[in-house]
């Protein structure tokens, strides 16, 4: 695993727990975690149960005893690491967004395609597809339970920047993070809406905005919780992004990504309206799916709150009895399970680097539309 | 009252009930209801308790014993009736949207301004301002409880057109209705968001779409519930409209109006995010207001569900004990109360025709933006 | 109408509004309202639209031009008025609880039975049966959609006494009110649970308690909102009552009535669990019914929130389009509608005085059980 | 760890994960898991990561290299194992309910008290105290935010027995399970209500009932999901239990435990009403706590939904950013954390065997009350 921030903890939990609950065809070993700060990465290795730590990712990627490279660094380093790993014949799991630019993502997708020819797998970490309720939503749509999709609303709402004095972390720097709310959380909204509907955005109109454009520089500390320093720096990414997209079926989808929606902590919400039904999902209530079945008798129709915790719901078989809830990090176990099974079976795992590239193109089109007065803008392909 | 459709029933209930609960300075008499079909309007007069019925609105507007003209006809006749009534010195209450075009609305606004000089009042019927929870939302914002408004989401979602065989009523004809979801329900979303925030939209980017563009012609029957005939006609208005607006403070607001949001029956929802708090209102739960107070201790913050049914909440004093719910038509009693009090006190009632004209300009800008590839478009003033 | 407190306002609204929306076979005239304080009752007559007011109920009951007597006085006077009215050949609508004791209720039921022989109707005012969602719940149970009823939970929760300094109104005096939370709101919980299930309580175990047993005497003022005086008096009724009942099918039901459930304003909630489904109703969201249909595919089961606002739902036909909410007082219009239709058709209206007597017997058994250490106690029949 | 059913999986996850997130003063080693079926327990050891498996618990308890014994067997074996382990000087963590009878629980409590003298710790596994929202509820009550507790409602609702053909597992046999809904889930409701309020039940009135008293014998299979055989056997435990308890402050609490509440999967719900506020918790939404603060301005009061996922909420510090949800099994990590810290610090962990004995006495009093016509019954002490 390259990187050891917040995502490193989540991925580690996935690698540790998945083999204890799922009957995996191959047993992952948590070999080595790589970071730039030798002491800090050694501490992370100890805390999270990795056998070794290292500071030179190129050396690790070259090792014969490494089969899989899991990339959890900021987006600006994804391309170089992933391409090197794929070229070294390692299966690659890369956090989202795939890269900070379409160009990088294209290069990664080409490397992934070439690697696939040699039996080397690659996957991008849109883990919310692995929340059981989201996977079940996909099943319902795929089974035709919603009829023809008429319109989509997807939003990812947080409020951790509402304090104008919150410090300037790397997530607020364009060079490191690529974009702000759009790339960090809007990417999830796009991927999840596309996953559940089975459709793709083909063109967009959007607007992005930075609501607080100067913040205190980050003092000592790590990750989201670093403390603020006296000096101030410029926020170079968006705080909010609103955009509308046309899906390949012609249906319209409306999107919102915001880190300023007061009181919303992690509200990735998708609502799909179809000619035969509707679905609503909210990550803040991730064990639930709301389903409206318009084929029911007219007087009995209503959004029903399905607890997606039954043994036969997606991913649920090895977990607890019905009504016993899963949490955020279970998606990482499910991701490991799917990745390991796909590698073992020689099937290309999804979401692929091509899927990740597509999302990058959506984000890019939103940025271009926003820069051009929100005019409708097609994806560059 | 000119007109006697669904809105006629609601306005009649307002005129009938308001004097029974509110201590009005003047007692309204339900004098005459006017419609084109003599038998039908006579039946409506009997059912709703009007003293007379008539078919010639011009004659009625000219009568000396008429003080107030309440206009509940489709939008294409608002201008001619309202202007005539104002010129005849009658106070006018006109249903929303004010008119079917900016030009008509401008003429109405000019007539209203001239009438105001002579002490004649005019008001447009955005009744949802008079839902106690919405009025209380306005109070909280006005008192600074949300701090600086950061962003707004307003949507009005219905699903009564999701059946592709639903008939072609006047609400689906551009000549009669002016526009579709945008003007019928989007207008409410704009007005309510502006009312609660105390801000105005200055420019927009939007897209409108007709999802089912041919429907069976309406057979016999009235209003929303008419039956379908064998022939088909063209839907000439929008089924959905998505738009983003910039408020005069610079904050962004995102809007959606749809008659295809499966399972949503009458979901006018407004969420306001500010630097000190947030509010969420949903007309499907109209006695409730969700309030997030970011000045509370960090560990205790959360959206609270306020039952807006206390004696001291707006409009509640004459109604029932706390926890006893109001319904849709109570807004019409509150509208009558406010209108009568304003007339009596000689204060210009709100929302004024100028407010209605402004909303019309927002709708117009959305239409122009949609026609121009969603490019950002300023209101014409 | 005899009495003119809070219930008088609600009944008046029922008599006024019902004929405007429902096509009644006979047109009620609001003839005379009766109270002890001549000035106050005259004011009420004016405010609520009664043609006359009077202070001698016996004289009014004797008048030939009176056909219906509507009793909305405190419970201690129900028996004498109702019996006199029935004997005078007047149809009687009597607020709940039917009386303050089983003995009185028995006398009333005998009078009602005798009157019925002469074609004179009587009904007790458990209006919550007429909330559309509750009536629809009854329809679902009656249609077998829940299968065999397995257990029931019914609670009526308020908090208006949580302030220990709230004044001692007549509702807290045993002589006037009969009992406290038990008779005032517990009676509704019993009636509604029995109505929806179609079953009756046959025996109970219960406990009642007064949490604050001394309060300031009521100063000047009316109804629930009177102000407090300096002297204190003894609360002689219960603040909370918990009881368990066995239904005639053998199923168990658990009940709670409380005026001390902080934050619950008017939460009459009934949940019915059956072998094929379940229902949950909450008066604080009175336009909604939650329905769990266990005959749906296992993975798709969930409580669905039905908006009971469709044209074909009970009582909804004359009201607004789907999604337009009704409020508390609509139940009184529905009550008037049902009462007038029953009188016209010569069918005995429900809930009958016999139904009211039965509820009184349940309350009585709870009181006896509570006094006897909560031991299981059968209804006296 | 003795036992390896459903609870064994949950406890194993606790032992595995706790040291990865919490900075424990001592590092637990997962030494040996014990069960009667050698193959099955060996498989469990492999799956869950225990170093060894064994079939003779007495031999394991006697081993010098064992410091802690974790008991997750059915209740009929708790006493013998726990007492032996404590006498052998092992710290003991024992699943709830502590035992199947008051007598056994008393013996265990005596053994625990004696062991405590020698520095040996014991704890009973009411893990729901360790759900952050429940722990935070306790904090709010302890800080006086609810004022004086006025009344309590606690219910644990499931529906897994609503199918009358569900098989007769050990949980339905009195010899193995002690009791049914009462002991299995009612015990949790009692413990959680007492934990949050800081009060204890002193007397009760209750009724228990078996709704389906004959079921197919269990065929092959394990745990909750075993398949049914053709023969039928007698259900010897309760399916539902309703009871009322008096707390030592004098306040009343009402309890319900049911495995027949259709549509409720794992609804452990506690609502506390106090003179200054109220709380509502529901295990089906375990990351949320509803809090009503009656000290807020009257017009702004409402139940607020607190996402108990902030860094400073109980147990949250080592987990994910705000809004990232925890699941069922996190409670087991928190339990391990608390147990290890208490052992290390030499502080008696809670809930103690004395706490477990107390809950057993409540259950026993409910059984005695139910057998005696629900008459009020004091706990035997």
Chain pair B-C, CB pairs under 8 angstroms = 94
C-chain residues within 8 Å CB-CB of B17? 13, 16-17
The model's pLDDT over B202-247, given as tens digits with 9 standing for 90+, comes to 999 999 999 999 999 976 544 445 555 678 999 999 999 999 999 9
CATH topology of domain A128-326: Dihydrodipicolinate Reductase; domain 2 (3.30.360)
- Alpha-carbon distance B156 to B361, whole Å? 19
Q: Extract the runs of DSSP E, i.e. beta strands, from chain A.
A: 32-34, 52-54, 68-71, 91-94, 122-124, 149-157, 201-209, 214-218, 228-234, 240-247, 252-258, 267-274, 277-282, 288-293, 303-307, 377-378
Residue with tokens 């919550």: C128
A-chain residues within 8 Å CB-CB of D283? 323, 325
D-chain residues within 8 Å CB-CB of B291? 300, 302
**Predicted pLDDT of residue B228:** 57
Chain pair A-C, CB pairs under 8 angstroms = 52
- Alpha-carbon distance C273 to C196, whole Å? 12
Which subunits have 3 or more CB–CB pairs within 8 Å of chain D? Answer: A, B, C
* Facing A303 at nearest CB: one of C136, C298, C305: C305
**CB-count burial class (<10 Å; 0-12, 13-18, 19+) for A174:** middle
Question: Could you write out the DSSP letters of every residue in A249-267?
Answer: TS-EEEEEEES--TT-SSE
Which is nearest to D360 in space by CA: D122, D82, D106, D149?
A: D106
For residue C255, list its beta bridge partners: C154, C243
CATH topology of domain B129-350+359-371: Dihydrodipicolinate Reductase; domain 2 (3.30.360)
How many Cβ atoms sit within 10 Å of the Cβ of residue A231? 10
Res A228 pLDDT > 90: no
Task: Specify the 3-state DSSP secondary structure of D118.
Answer: coil
CB D223 within 8 A of CB D5: yes
CB A367 within 8 A of CB A105: no
* Residue of C257, C274, C374, C377 best to disrupt the D interface, most CBs of D under 10 A: C374
CATH topology of domain B6-127: Rossmann fold (3.40.50)
State the DSSP code for B101.
S
The model's pLDDT over D192-220, given as tens digits with 9 standing for 90+, comes to 999 999 999 999 999 999 999 999 997 65
Q: Which residues contact C91 (CB under 8 A, 6 or more apart)?
A: C67, C68, C69, C120, C121, C122, C339, C343
Task: Specify the 3-state DSSP secondary structure of C348.
Answer: coil
C320–B20: do the CB atoms touch at under 8 Å? Answer: no
Task: Work out the average pLDDT over A68-77.
Answer: 95
Task: Work out the average pLDDT over C211-233.
Answer: 73
**Predicted pLDDT of residue A223:** 46
Binning pLDDT at 50, 70 and 90, where does residue A265 land? very high
At A118, phi and psi to the nearest 5? -95, 10
The model's pLDDT over A141-171, given as tens digits with 9 standing for 90+, comes to 999 999 999 999 999 999 999 988 989 988 8
- Is B136 near chain D, with CB under 8 Å? yes
C-chain residues within 8 Å CB-CB of B224? 321
In chain D, the residue whose alpha carbon lies closest to the alpha carbon of A10 is D320
CB B67 within 8 A of CB B93: no
Joined together, the tokens standing for residue C55 give: 């202070």
Architecture of domain C129-326: 2-Layer Sandwich (3.30)
In chain D, the residue whose alpha carbon lies closest to the alpha carbon of B323 is D302
> Within 13 A of C308's CA, how many CA atoms are on the CB side?
27
Binning chain D into helix, strand and coil, the percentages to the nearest 5 are: 40, 25, 40
Shortest Cα–Cα distance, C22 to chain B (Å) = 9
In chain C, the residue whose alpha carbon lies closest to the alpha carbon of A306 is C302
* Residue of A146, A296, A298, A302 best to disrupt the C interface, most CBs of C under 10 A: A302
Select the more confidently predicted residue: C100 or B269: B269
A-chain residues within 8 Å CB-CB of D311? 225
- Alpha-carbon distance A51 to A53, whole Å? 7
Task: Specify the 3-state DSSP secondary structure of B71.
Answer: strand
* Residue of C8, C306, C327 best to disrupt the B interface, most CBs of B under 10 A: C327
CA angle at residue D256 from D251 to D258, to 5 degrees? Answer: 170
Residue with tokens 């295990």: D283
Which contiguous run of DSSP H or E holds residue D242? strand D240-247
Which contiguous run of DSSP H or E holds residue D86? helix D78-87
A244–B374: do the CB atoms touch at under 8 Å? Answer: yes
Joined together, the tokens standing for residue C346 give: 């010569």
CA dihedral for C312, C317, C323, C329, sign (positive or negative): negative
- Is B280 near chain D, with CB under 8 Å? no
- Angle B102-117/B78-87 helices, nearest 10 degrees? 10
In chain B, the residue whose alpha carbon lies closest to the alpha carbon of D306 is B302
Res A89 pLDDT > 80: yes
Joined together, the tokens standing for residue C327 give: 């409020």
Biggest CA–CA distance in chain D, Å, is: 65
- Alpha-carbon distance A378 to B373, whole Å? 12
Chain pair A-D, CB pairs under 8 angstroms = 91
- Alpha-carbon distance C277 to C259, whole Å? 31
Q: Which residues contact C264 (CB under 8 A, 6 or more apart)?
A: B323, C157, C158, C159, C258, C284
Res D349 pLDDT > 80: yes
**Predicted pLDDT of residue B178:** 84
Joined together, the tokens standing for residue A266 give: 């992690």
Task: Work out the average pLDDT over C225-248.
Answer: 86
Numbered ranges of CATH 3.30.360.10 in chain A: 128-326
The model's pLDDT over B237-291, given as tens digits with 9 standing for 90+, comes to 999 999 999 999 999 999 999 999 999 999 999 999 999 999 999 999 999 999 9
**Predicted pLDDT of residue C222:** 45
| Residues of chain C numbered 313-342 and touching chain A (CB < 8 Å) | 313
Task: Work out the average pLDDT over B313-333.
Answer: 97
Which is nearest to C149 in space by CA: C201, C197, C203?
A: C197
Joined together, the tokens standing for residue C252 give: 């168990």
- Alpha-carbon distance C57 to C69, whole Å? 10
CATH topology of domain D6-125: Rossmann fold (3.40.50)
In chain C, the residue whose alpha carbon lies closest to the alpha carbon of A310 is C299
- Choose which CATH entry (3.40.50.720, 3.30.70.1560, 3.40.309.10, 3.40.190.10) describes domain C6-126: 3.40.50.720
Numbered ranges of CATH 3.40.50.720 in chain C: 6-126
CA angle at residue C239 from C236 to C243, to 5 degrees? Answer: 115
Question: Could you write out the DSSP letters of every residue in B102-151?
Answer: HHHHHHHHHHHHHHHHTT--EEEE-GGGGSHHHHHHHHHHHTTTT-SEEE
Task: Work out the average pLDDT over C321-327.
Answer: 97
Q: Cα Rg for chain D, rounded, in angstroms?
A: 21
**Predicted pLDDT of residue B220:** 57
Joined together, the tokens standing for residue D223 give: 């745990």
- Is A371 near chain D, with CB under 8 Å? no
Numbered ranges of CATH 3.30.360.10 in chain C: 129-326
C-chain residues within 8 Å CB-CB of B286? 325
Tell how many helices (H) and how many strands (E) occur in chain B. Answer: 11, 16
- Is D242 near chain B, with CB under 8 Å? no
**Predicted pLDDT of residue C223:** 46
- Is D158 near chain A, with CB under 8 Å? yes
Which is nearest to C27 in space by CA: C42, C16, C43?
A: C16
At C28, phi and psi to the nearest 5? -70, 140
Res C226 pLDDT > 90: no
- Is C150 near chain D, with CB under 8 Å? yes
Numbered ranges of CATH 3.30.360.10 in chain B: 129-350+359-371
The size of chain A, in residues, is 381
In chain A, the residue whose alpha carbon lies closest to the alpha carbon of D322 is A265
**CB-count burial class (<10 Å; 0-12, 13-18, 19+) for D37:** exposed
* Residue of A140, A299, A323 best to disrupt the C interface, most CBs of C under 10 A: A299
Residue with tokens 């720096």: A233
Numbered ranges of CATH 3.40.50.720 in chain D: 6-125
Shortest Cα–Cα distance, A304 to chain C (Å) = 3
**CB-count burial class (<10 Å; 0-12, 13-18, 19+) for B24:** middle
Task: Work out the average pLDDT over C233-241.
Answer: 95
State the DSSP code for C297.
-
- Alpha-carbon distance D269 to D271, whole Å? 7
Which subunits have 3 or more CB–CB pairs within 8 Å of chain A? Answer: B, C, D
CB B352 within 8 A of CB B338: no
A307–C302: do the CB atoms touch at under 8 Å? Answer: yes
At A280, phi and psi to the nearest 5? -140, 130
For residue A290, list its beta bridge partners: A280, A305
CA terminus-to-terminus distance, chain C: 31
In chain C, the residue whose alpha carbon lies closest to the alpha carbon of D258 is C151
Res A226 pLDDT > 80: no
Task: Specify the 3-state DSSP secondary structure of C271.
Answer: strand
Joined together, the tokens standing for residue B62 give: 């000219």
Homologous superfamily (CATH) for D131-326: Dihydrodipicolinate Reductase; domain 2 (3.30.360.10)
Task: Work out the average pLDDT over C227-243.
Answer: 87
B-chain residues within 8 Å CB-CB of C185? none
**Predicted pLDDT of residue C86:** 98
CA dihedral for C12, C14, C15, C20, sign (positive or negative): positive
Shortest Cα–Cα distance, A116 to chain D (Å) = 32
Shortest Cα–Cα distance, D21 to chain A (Å) = 7
CB A307 within 8 A of CB D285: no
Which subunits have 3 or more CB–CB pairs within 8 Å of chain B? Answer: A, C, D
C-chain residues within 8 Å CB-CB of D375? 373-375
Task: Work out the average pLDDT over D224-240.
Answer: 79
In chain A, the residue whose alpha carbon lies closest to the alpha carbon of C311 is A299
Peptide bond into A97 cis (omega under 30): yes
State the DSSP code for B142.
H
Shortest Cα–Cα distance, C301 to chain A (Å) = 6
Which is nearest to B151 in space by CA: D189, A338, A259?
A: A259
- Is C263 near chain D, with CB under 8 Å? yes
C6–B160: do the CB atoms touch at under 8 Å? Answer: no
* Residue of D137, D302, D315 best to disrupt the B interface, most CBs of B under 10 A: D302
**Predicted pLDDT of residue D367:** 97
C326–B321: do the CB atoms touch at under 8 Å? Answer: no
Shortest Cα–Cα distance, B258 to chain A (Å) = 9
Which subunits have 3 or more CB–CB pairs within 8 Å of chain C? Answer: A, B, D
């Amino acid at each position: 695993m390259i990187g050891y921030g917040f995502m490193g903890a989540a991925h580690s939990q996935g690698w540790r727990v998945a083999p204890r609950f799922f009957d995996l065809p191959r047993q992952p070993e948590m070999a080595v975690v790589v970071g730039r700060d030798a002491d800090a990465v050694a501490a992370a290795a100890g805390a999270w149960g990795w056998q070794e730590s290292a500071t030179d990712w190129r050396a690790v990627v070259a090792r014969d005893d490494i089969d899989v490279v899991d990339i959890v660094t900021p987006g600006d380093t994804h391309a170089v690491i992933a391409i090197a790993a794929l070229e070294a014949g390692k299966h690659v799991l890369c956090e989202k967004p795939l890269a900070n630019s379409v160009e990088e993502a294209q290069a990664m997708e080409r490397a992934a395609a070439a690697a696939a020819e040699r039996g080397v797998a690659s996957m991008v970490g849109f883990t919310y597809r692995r929340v059981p309720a989201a996977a079940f939503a996909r099943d319902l749509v795929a089974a035709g339970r919603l009829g023809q999709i008429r319109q989509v609303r997807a939003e990812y709402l947080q409020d951790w920047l509402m304090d104008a004095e919150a410090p300037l972390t790397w997530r607020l720097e364009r060079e490191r993070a690529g974009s702000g709310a759009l790339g960090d959380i809007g990417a999830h909204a796009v991927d999840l809406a596309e996953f559940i509907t089975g459709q793709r955005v083909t063109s967009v109109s959007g607007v992005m905005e930075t609501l607080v454009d100067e913040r205190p520089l980050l003092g000592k500390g790590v990750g989201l919780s670093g403390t603020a320093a006296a000096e101030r720096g410029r926020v170079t990414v968006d705080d909010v992004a609103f955009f509308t997209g046309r899906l390949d079926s012609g249906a319209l989808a409306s999107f919102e990504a915001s880190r300023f929606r007061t009181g919303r902590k992690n509200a990735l919400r998708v609502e799909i309206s179809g000619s035969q039904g509707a679905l609503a999902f909210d990550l803040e209530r991730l064990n639930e799916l709301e389903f409206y079945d318009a084929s029911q008798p007219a007087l009995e129709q209503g959004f029903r709150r399905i607890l997606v915790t039954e043994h036969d719901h997606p991913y649920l078989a090895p977990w607890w009895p019905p009504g016993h809830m899963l949490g955020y990090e279970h998606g990482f176990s499910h991701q490991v399970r799917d990745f390991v099974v796909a590698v073992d079976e020689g099937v290309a795992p999804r979401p692929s680097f091509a899927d990740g590239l597509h999302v990058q193109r959506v984000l890019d089109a939103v940025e271009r539309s926003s820069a051009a007065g929100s005019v409708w803008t097609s994806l560059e392909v």
